[in-house]
Amino acid sequence: MFIQQAFKSLHEWWRYLVGFIIIFLASQLGSIPFLIAVMFKVVSDGGDIESIQDPNVMMTVLDSNLTLFLMLLSFAVGLFAIYLVVRYLHRQRFVTLTTSRKKTDWGRIFFGFGIITVTTLVVTIMDYYSNPEDYVLQFDLVPFLILAVIAIIMIPLQTSFEEYLFRGYLMQGIGVLAKNRWLPLVLTSVIFGGLHLANPEVDKLGNIIMVYYIGTGFFLGIMTLMDEGMELALGFHAGNNLITALLVTADWTVFKTNSVLKDISEPSAGFDVIAPVLILYPIFLLIMAYRYKWSDWGGKLFGKVEEPIVIAEENNPNSTFIE
């Protein structure tokens, strides 16, 4: 099973605490170039350096493509830190943090990517033609191509960092310590959603948007536990963020990009905010369950996590794990 993979590595509680601290500090170090670039720009323009204490101001000082790249750089550094922590602090093969299968299933990654990409395109196109007054076509070839290069490279690194941290490292770490599946599902989902409190969408739409963020955490966690691997979550998360960044932006979103469309409507926290959690996510889970023959929902979401029995083979220094 996916969580049980961690038993085959060094999994003492203090290693996860130290590892999490290292990952957090690395991601913070990765944000320093963005801060330096913003400070340099403000000073060179004769502005007040204290103004950058406002996150909204920081996001508008630099060119939007440069801002996106520097903002995502911290996630790339954090992802590299996760790799180092897993390989050298836990002595764990990175593939076992990704999946319970012998190797990463790229077909699952592309399926997760595709299902949200198609859905986002269809929903956005339908809304564009239903409410054309809510959008402005802002396509500009050169800035868009620069955006596309940055987004295609950096956004999968950003989403992979979040998935490997929450659905991988913390899911396995909490699971082997708590010896169950429901606690890591709940904790990683709530923490994942809580970290989005700083997003400008929360200020604009109110705390109701947290239902979407936490619900998304549960959705990604459920598909990881049911599928015994992160591949679907990796693809889905990357597709969601990448297509959104390229397709549509707004002044009140965390990603302000040179996308094809700009949403100029006044946002409101209506049913559409929680509709994905209540309608789309269950449909997606049913489609995945049918495609990948999921079963034993109760056991995989709420069951115990038992340490494999180790049988020492004669004249073999390696141990055999019986799950």
- 195-249, pLDDT tens digit by residue? 888 887 887 888 888 999 999 999 999 999 999 999 999 999 999 999 999 999 9
Which range of 52-66, 112-126, 196-210, 251-265 scores highest in mean pLDDT? It is: 112-126
- The pLDDT value recorded for residue 1 is 86
pLDDT tens profile 220-233: 999 999 999 999 99
* Rounded alpha-carbon distances, angstroms, from residue 35 to 14, 53, 54, 106, 201: 32, 10, 12, 36, 22
pLDDT at 77 over 70: yes
Q: Which residue has the tokens 């969408």?
A: 201
Mean pLDDT, the chain, rounded, equals 90
At 207, is the secondary structure helix, strand, or coil?
coil
Q: How far apart are the first and last CA of the chain?
A: 8
Q: How far apart are CA 277 and CA 287, in angstroms?
A: 15
Residue 178, C-beta contacts closer than 8 angstroms, at least 6 positions apart: 184, 305
Boundaries of domain holding 74: 3-322
pTM, two decimals, is 0.91
Q: Does an H or E element contain 228, and which?
A: none
Q: How far apart are CA 191 and CA 214, in angstroms?
A: 8
pLDDT at 109 over 70: yes
Q: How far apart are CA 313 and CA 307, in angstroms?
A: 18
- The pLDDT value recorded for residue 54 is 67
pLDDT at 144 over 70: yes
220: left (phi over 0), alpha (psi -120 to 50) or beta: alpha
Question: How many structural domains comprise the chain?
Answer: 1
Counting every residue written for the chain, the total comes to 323
Confidence of residue 312 (pLDDT cuts 50, 70, 90): very low
Tokens of 173: 């770490």
Residue 198, C-beta contacts closer than 8 angstroms, at least 6 positions apart: 55
Q: Does an H or E element contain 191, and which?
A: helix 182-194
Contact of 213 with 188, CB cutoff 8 Å:
no
Residue 172, C-beta contacts closer than 8 angstroms, at least 6 positions apart: 2, 3, 5, 6, 97, 184
Name the residue among 212, 244, 237, 209 with its Cα closest to residue 223: 237
Contact of 301 with 1, CB cutoff 8 Å:
no
Q: How far apart are CA 178 and CA 144, in angstroms?
A: 47
pLDDT at 319 over 60: no
- The pLDDT value recorded for residue 321 is 42
pLDDT at 57 over 90: no
pLDDT at 88 over 60: yes
Q: In 10 A of CB 279, how many CB atoms?
A: 11
- The pLDDT value recorded for residue 251 is 83
Q: How far apart are CA 310 and CA 301, in angstroms?
A: 25
pLDDT tens profile 246-286: 999 988 887 789 999 999 988 777 777 888 999 999 999 99
Contact of 174 with 166, CB cutoff 8 Å:
no
- The pLDDT value recorded for residue 315 is 45
